[in-house]
Amino acid sequence: MSEPKHTPVLLNESIDHLNLRAGKTIVDCTLGLGGHSEEILKKIGKNGKLIAFEQDEENLKLAKKRLKKYEKQITYVHENFENLRSQISELGLDLVDGILFDLGLSSPHVDDAQRGFSFKNDGPLDMRFDKRQKLTAEQVVNKTKEKDLADIIFHYGEDRKSRIIARKIVEARKQKPIKTTSELAELIKSTIRSRSKLHPATQTFQALRIYVNRELEVLELALDQAINLLKPKGRLVIISYHSLEDRIVKKKFRYYTQDCICPKELPVCQCNFQKKLYILTKKPIIPTGIEATTNPRARSAKMRVCERI
């Protein structure tokens, strides 16, 4: 079996905006197959240090193989980046020079049917980034109450037909459990009539993946930690792939650019809040037309960058 191919999204743009120099300490919170990390390591040189987080065991194995010649410079962390602060502290570090998040799916997640992230090939309804966790998409689909399932599809998939989809899923699972990606995709396709080029199950699959992996909750937690781990002039680069992620990033950046967070009705500031960030991207950076054409995963990508004061 050949190794999965993976093209890093916004590679040159992200490397440039990290403002890398020899000897810097950088954190890649989403190692994946190591595409961004490899370029980071080239820039920071033999005296530089990379701390790489990856919760997917298979991705971690492949990345280690790819980055073998840099192994003396890398510390691998097989954990979710929600544990960013504690893991950095365990390594004896207080602050770092730069942090990268490349959110969303990596190529193996989409290409390997057994991971259950995509309906382009039939596979089990899994969708776990970290196989050590217990909750799977199959359990959510077959055990969640109809109202709660509709809420998941609506809030995380932004699908206005969430109630119809949830009702159909509950009706179908009464006959037999829904166990595969094709079963779920076909059920939704037969329920929702649409002229859109987007498959009717796309938003439901996104919603289940986000819910199973607690993606938005984890992102909220990790951003606060990342911002407070940066040295002065340190850069935070975040690549997101849908509006829910981008909204969280934009809101968090704005929060830390404030000089005061007191309620507006207070005549005098009492919060002692200190501005921590400069936003370096007034508008998100998006892929060029060439990249969007040659790398389908890049089409919806948005990159935002801030610098610690």
The reported pLDDT for the residue numbered 107 is: 74
pLDDT of res. 5 = 64
Chain-centroid distance, C-alpha 129 = 10
Q: What is the pLDDT of residue 106?
A: 80
How far apart, in whole angstroms, are the C-alpha atoms of residue 95 and residue 97? Answer: 7
3-state helix, strand, coil in the chain (%, to 5): 45, 15, 40
Residue type (1 letter), 83: N
Residues of the chain with pLDDT under 50: 1
- Asked if residue 107 lies in contact with residue 3, where contact means CB atoms within 8 angstroms, the answer is no
Cα-only R_g, the chain: 21
Q: Classify residue 275 as left (phi > 0), alpha (psi -120 to 50) or beta.
A: beta
Summarised one tens digit per residue, pLDDT across range 105-156 is: 887 788 888 999 999 889 999 999 999 999 999 999 999 999 999 999 999 9
Is the Cβ–Cβ distance between 233 and 308 less than 8 Å? yes
Indicate the fold that domain 112-213 takes in CATH.
DNA polymerase; domain 1 (1.10.150)
E strands, 82-156, are 96-102
Any idea which fold 11-102+215-308 has? Answer: Rossmann fold (3.40.50)
Domain boundaries, the chain: 11-102+215-308, 112-213
For residue 59, the SS3 value is helix
Distance CA 162, CA 159 (A): 5
Rounded (10°) CA dihedral 81, 137, 60, 8: -80
